[in-house]
Amino acid sequence: MGVEALRVALGALVGHRFRTVLTMLSIVIGAFAIVLMVSLAQSGLATLQHGMEELGGSRVILIGSRPSEKQVGKQGTYPTGFTLHEYQSLTRAVPHLTEHTIFYVGRDYVDAQSDTGAVARTDLVAGDSHFFDAFRLPVAEGRGIGDADDKGHAPVCVVSPKVAEALFRGSPVGHMLTVGTVRCRVVGRLAKVERWGVGFGWDWDDLVVVPLETVADAVPEVHSSATLFFKTDDKANNDAVKRILHARLGDLHHGLDDYLIFDFAKGLARFESMFLLMQALVGVVSGIALLVGGVGVMNMLLVSVTERVGPATSGSSSSSRRCSSRASAASRGRSSASAPRRAPSRSCGAWPRAGRGSSPSARRWPPFWCRCSSARASATCRHGARRASIPSPA
């Protein structure tokens, strides 16, 4: 039974090729789209994690400035943000701290003009001497920014490969550059770096790095908008480092809570949990889609099998009914043939018996206006047909 049903189903699929191809194509495209989406999401997450791990990943701690929430009236008494002296006092002799830097990023692109007259728009970033090591920005040509440059407010800068290509025809080292309101001499060119999905407010391939104190001379909001970057030796020690930094910042800022500490370990954990939830939702949607596709295929097979089995069943039943009708008619014929002939009764409207002198036709044929109570006899009498079927009177 199962083999026969399978054979009929396969025959239905072959018989309706176009419908079969459309149904199977929809299932294949849906499954391929789901697999592709999940693969791209996993690849993007892996790339993002690789970029973050290159910078420290869950071992990174950021501290930024913000308006005070608990002591609003006391906020105007002291300056906000982080000065270079506070930053140096904050990072002195902190256990489990491996790298640190302070930086400032402009809110928008600024105009940059070289001494050759070329103009471009780029990101202005201010940092100390540890900026390039903390963010893994290798210098391909020239040098970076040193402690003497930052402390001495030196008008020097380091440009990215994209800026160097847009503003200078050859080597950018030694040329003068004006970035916004800051004028500096180019002392180095960065190597090309690509970190997809990892950003701290600037484009990795389109920026100009200037010493923090040099930018602070031209942009007053540098210290109030600066950000502190810390990297620990292990993410398990992040809480201990945060407690020490929080205590020191409370003393330096006179008890004001005008700063915000962000732990990358907790942020990445929440991001991974959200990504796992998205994967689960995609799995549920894919399961529903495949279920709907399977139901569609089974429905098509069921309709095809019904179309093939239905006519055969109805034809066999009608033929059996015809055969049974014929058999019953034959049996009635045999029974009527074997029964003895007798004259119709008068209750059926039979004609009067003719005497010996009557003609043979009067004795044999009844008049056509006779009325019979029997349906079979009345039909024969009314139509005047099949008179031979009525037996002649004895």
Average pLDDT over residues 318-336: 54
Helices (H), the chain: 2-15, 17-55, 84-90, 131-134, 147-151, 161-167, 212-218, 238-252, 264-338, 360-364, 375-383
Phi, psi of 201 (to 5 degrees): 110, 0
201: left (phi over 0), alpha (psi -120 to 50) or beta: left
> For 265-300, how does the pLDDT look when each residue is reduced to its tens digit (9 = 90+)?
887 778 778 777 877 777 777 777 777 767 776 776
Distance CA 26, CA 293 (A): 8
Closest CA to 366 of 374, 377, 356, 376: 377
Alpha-carbon dihedral sign for residues 108, 109, 115, 118? negative
Task: State pLDDT tens for residues 217-274.
Answer: 998 889 888 999 999 999 899 999 999 998 988 888 777 778 889 888 887 778 778 7
**Residue 315 pLDDT greater than 80, yes or no:** no
CB within 8 Å of 218: residues ≥ 6 apart = 180, 181, 182
Both structure tokens of 351: 């004609």
What stretch of H or E contains 263?
strand 259-263
The C-alpha atoms of residue 276 and residue 342 are separated, in whole angstroms, by 97
Round to whole Å and give the CA distance between 40 and 89: 45
CB 134 within 8 A of CB 229: yes
**Of 168-177, 207-216, 275-284, minimum mean pLDDT range:** 275-284
Q: pLDDT class for 372, splitting at 50, 70, 90?
A: very low
At residue 213, the 3 state secondary structure works out as: helix
Check residue 250 and give its pLDDT.
84
Question: Binning pLDDT at 50, 70 and 90, where does residue 374 land?
Answer: very low
Kindly state the average pLDDT of the residues 198-214.
Answer: 90
Asked whether the beta carbons of 157 and 208 are under 8 A apart, the reply is: yes
Q: Is the pLDDT reported for residue 114 higher than 90? A: yes
In this predicted model, what pLDDT tens digit does every residue of 24-55 receive, in sequence order?
777 777 778 777 777 777 777 777 777 777 78
Question: How many CB atoms within 10 Å of residue 389?
Answer: 10
How far from each other are the two terminal CA atoms of the chain, in whole angstroms? 63
Name the nearest CA neighbour of 234 among 98, 55, 338, 393: 98
Overall pTM > 0.75: no
Confidence at 347, pLDDT banded by 50, 70, 90: very low
